[in-house]
Structure 1
Amino acid sequence: MSILLSNISKVYFAGIGGIGMSALAHYFLENNISVSGYDQNSSAITRKLEERGVQIAYDIKPENINDNLDLVVYTPAIPSDHPLLIFFKQKGIQVLKRAEVLGMITQRLNTIAVAGSHGKTTISSLLTHLFHNSSINPYAFLGGISNNIGSNFKTGKDWAVVEADEFDYSFLKLYPKMIILSSIDSDHMDIYKSMDNLYDSFKSFVRKLPKEGKLIVHEKANRNSDFDCPEIITYSLDNTADIYPADIEKKDTFLHFSLNYKGRKISGFQMPALGLHNLENAIAAITAALESGLDENTIKVNLQSFSGVKRRFEYVFASENILYIDDYAHHPTEINALLKSVKEQYPKRHTTIIFQPHLYSRTRDLAEEFGKSLSNADKVILLDIYPAREAPIENVNAALIAKYISHGNHKLMTKEELTAQIDLMQLDILITAGAGDIDKLVEPIKNTLENKNKNLIADSYEDK
């Protein structure tokens, strides 16, 4: 533990069910510190913490609040004037944002911070897995559930792989030794107001690198910026970058490729075929592993066994008749990449996407871009906007996106209507996408598709 955290024995998490918050909670548990917390809803994340002995309240009645605490950590999704935070402040308990606490932890470790508007979770999860069974054993604080470790947290020693979130300027609290920067795209404009401000924040983050620090940056993000860093390494699928792939070939369920790395060619890489955008994410992770001193053979072995991240191009159900993919995509760029990857792998198949917009402000600002990206699917079903931290904005709803879909095969539905109608739909490839609570529909949809597939098989036997 760092000096600032060394005297802490009891920590309370306000919003403990969040993906970033729960990773921190696991970290404190691993350090034999008592953890308790609050969240609005029970979930798989909170239940896993409860299995480890964490007491979690799902309301904020005073009698349910433990005030015998050393530290309260809260998520930026909870406003600073929330009654729970006011209660703790009045009791004189130290209250810190999640990013501040994560910053204290990264200050004492060799931290590789994965930043960017897109791809952070896949890159950080893959990089964590590349270090598996090697001399480098990092802590991992991930923004999703890695299928390889079954968690968003991994304990370690001396090193850390950290997802660096730009929301609310959170990443400026970190102390990276190396940065991977995947992209800078229009997002979180409710915070940044302009692209200039967004670029400035990423530049400020890069300046946090020490003199010996390295920036591994996607060529496009580097081309559009002016980063102040002693060593900049660019990567891309294109051969204009410092690091890029070659000899790309799909064989069965794997992508095989070579890597042009600083003027030399490294052959013999293969990874699960999860779309070309994930090949690009893999290039970033491989580069960081090599720059950290990891040997090529370990990287190749671990890359083959990478099993992805929950809700990142996740194959939920597959049969001869129906394929179901779930993804966290919640920005037009991500939806474009998702649908492009599906079309590349299954060019002759019909795609239906169910999309739940996330945030009123993002929907308002990017409605046209959302419509254009969703137009790449053969059929679009739009659910109501998931508000998250926001209050409704007048005249902003899912219909605003529908106006910009270039074909007429789209429909607005509530979650309740979808659940009732999914069994009646003619489906080939089904995709669910979004960052809200659409994940709660995944298991019910999967069960419906399994039953639907059984009926299709039964019908085919009867026809014979």
Structure 2
Amino acid sequence: MQLADLKQVYFIGVGGIGMSAIARYFNSRGLKVSGYDKTETPLTRSLESEGITIHYGAANVALVPVSADDLLVVWTPAIPASFAELAKVQAGDYTLLKRSQVLGLISRGMDCVGIAGTHGKTTTTTITTHLMNVAGLEPSAFLGGIPRDFSSNYVHGTSDWVVVEADEYDRSFLQLDPAIAVVLSCDADHLDIYGDHANMLETGFRAYARKIREGGKLLIRYDLADHFTEIDHVTTITFGIGAGDYNAHNIRVEDGAFHFDLKEPDGHLITDIRTALPGRHNIENALAASAVTRIAGGSEAALKEGLATFKGIARRFETKLKTDKIVIIDDYAHHPTELTAAISAAKELYPDKTIRGVFQPHLFSRTQDFAAGFAQALDLLDEAILIPIYPAREEPIPGVTSRSIYGKMNSTNRRLLSDEQLLIATAELADGVLLLLGAGDIDALVPKIVAQHQNTLTHG
């Protein structure tokens, strides 16, 4: 498949964050881009405003373009195999590729920075892109979120550098051949794909490391390095808080922002780096992005300027409302480690406020696998509210509901609510920090919850 021969691309599931970035890539190159998605969203409306044709709701096989040599159809595993448009393409004479395969084709031949990890991929990919831009390296990028610095999940660069989110789900990252590969974390996840953690390490993350180009670089959190000792065709570089080749230390909070010093492999010290990103987990993300930027040739001054000016990403500890009494924060956390990080960051930034959290579990399988971990994380809250599971691509699993988590919690200050009950409960809050947590459609409730409190501020 030669991308240069294409004139039209059709996306089945165009509104996904990864799919839409690739749609924007092809659209920016003047190809005819169209597609399907289940529902209209702010992201799909943005795609339409850019000239991409989208239809919604039920499958409409009549709107699938006629098979042609210059047509590529791209699909995402989030689409069920029974979906009529996908079935038509699979049965016909079409070139059909997964999103991950297309990303592999696009990035091949470029200097690819692939950022992997069960947590932190989107934030680190976006910080890296921003830092490299500030450093004048002008990378292209395919991002898993909408950063405020770019207002798009696709960044068109002019150099050979391309920064991509290397996704472990469905082993998608094995389509990449990175020049620099980052591994931020490799906790157990996606066990519906891998079966167990050991298999995830071997057929997922270690297999990804083996895909690094000969003579490339593996940048890995220092406490994970022992899992990758047999990867000997690359240079392994570690990073971490208090340890590693790139070492962040002297971490402190000043004027509501984190500051730290960075010791580089040659002993050089970069002092008083400032980042407005919350939480120590984001120090690690910033550290990985800084290391990539320095390896790629970015200057010390660009690194400090870039981290100080980075504006953040939608749904990554995004402050939606902040008054003297109440703070509302929206976060994509959908794994126990991510929940713990978000809650801990809120406690560190707002030590004198009551920390409440609303959690929408994402996937029945993940809830089944990690109910105890979710319960332990949610027990860190002063008050926890659970709403129904967001199923995404899955059918229900008997006996697996949000109550599976609720029943394992030790906290007595916890509630199980419907979406409608949640809106009533949150409207009654007068103070404290409210965390809205989850990777499903909880984001559709966020503006309603914020509007309630803005209305109260306006009208008393």
What range is the shorter-chain TM-score in?
Answer: over 0.9
Matched residue SS, 1:221: helix
Aligned: 1:99 with 2:100 = yes
The whole-number CA distance in structure 2 between the counterparts of 1:82 and 1:451 is 42
Matched residue SS, 1:96: strand
Of the three residues 308, 314, 319, the one matched with 2:312 is: 308
TM-superposed CA distance for 1:243, in Å, is 1.4
Matched residue SS, 2:275: strand
For residue 4 of structure 2, what is the aligned residue in structure 1?
6
TM-superposed CA distance for 1:426, in Å, is 4.3
Deviations 1:89-119 (A, max 9, x none): 3331111100000000110210000001000
Partner AA of 1:122 in structure 2: T
Matched residue SS, 2:143: strand
Shift in alpha-carbon separation, 1:227–1:81, aligned structure 2, 3 A? farther
Aligned: 1:416 with 2:446 = no
Matched residue SS, 1:309: coil
The whole-number CA distance in structure 2 between the counterparts of 1:281 and 1:413 is 34
The whole-number CA distance in structure 2 between the counterparts of 1:257 and 1:62 is 55
Partner AA of 2:102 in structure 1: V
Of the three residues 281, 284, 298, the one matched with 2:302 is: 298
TM-superposed CA distance for 1:159, in Å, is 1.0
Of the three residues 164, 185, 194, the one matched with 2:166 is: 164
For residue 27 of structure 1, what is the aligned residue in structure 2?
25
For residue 461 of structure 1, what is the aligned residue in structure 2?
none
Matched residue SS, 1:131: helix
Shift in alpha-carbon separation, 1:341–1:227, aligned structure 2, 3 A? farther
For residue 60 of structure 1, what is the aligned residue in structure 2?
59
The whole-number CA distance in structure 2 between the counterparts of 1:346 and 1:126 is 24
The whole-number CA distance in structure 2 between the counterparts of 1:288 and 1:343 is 30
TM-score (norm 2): 0.96
For residue 288 of structure 1, what is the aligned residue in structure 2?
292
Of the three residues 192, 195, 202, the one matched with 1:193 is: 195
For residue 183 of structure 1, what is the aligned residue in structure 2?
185
Partner AA of 1:208 in structure 2: K
Partner AA of 1:314 in structure 2: E
TM-superposed CA distance for 1:163, in Å, is 0.1
Q: Which runs of 5+ in 2 are unaligned?
A: none
Deviations 1:228-249 (A, max 9, x none): 04311111112x3221112223
TM-superposed CA distance for 1:81, in Å, is 4.4
**Runs of 4+ with >6 A deviation:** none
Of the three residues 441, 445, 454, the one matched with 1:450 is: 454
Of the three residues 356, 368, 371, the one matched with 1:364 is: 368
The whole-number CA distance in structure 2 between the counterparts of 1:25 and 1:380 is 38
Alignment of 1:118-133 (within 5 A): 118-133=119-134
For residue 390 of structure 1, what is the aligned residue in structure 2?
394
Aligned length: 453
Q: 1:85·1:95 contact (CA, 8 Å) conserved in 2?
A: no
Alignment of 1:54-453 (within 5 A): 54-58=52-56, 59-67=58-66, 70-157=71-158, 158-200=160-202, 201-229=204-232, 230-238=234-242, 240-262=243-265, 263-453=267-457
Q: 1:123·1:282 contact (CA, 8 Å) conserved in 2?
A: yes
Shift in alpha-carbon separation, 1:314–1:49, aligned structure 2, 3 A? same
TM-superposed CA distance for 1:224, in Å, is 4.1
Matched residue SS, 1:334: helix
The whole-number CA distance in structure 1 between the counterparts of 2:214 and 2:170 is 26
CA RMSD of aligned residues (A): 1.4
Partner AA of 2:332 in structure 1: Y
TM-superposed CA distance for 1:404, in Å, is 1.8
TM-superposed CA distance for 1:429, in Å, is 0.6
Partner AA of 2:63 in structure 1: N
The range that moved more, 221-230 or 167-176, is 221-230
Deviations 1:9-64 (A, max 9, x none): 00000000000000000000111111000000001111011001111011322333
Shift in alpha-carbon separation, 1:425–1:250, aligned structure 2, 3 A? closer
The whole-number CA distance in structure 1 between the counterparts of 2:224 and 2:456 is 44
Matched residue SS, 2:320: strand
Q: 1:321·1:453 contact (CA, 8 Å) conserved in 2?
A: no
TM-superposed CA distance for 1:220, in Å, is 2.2
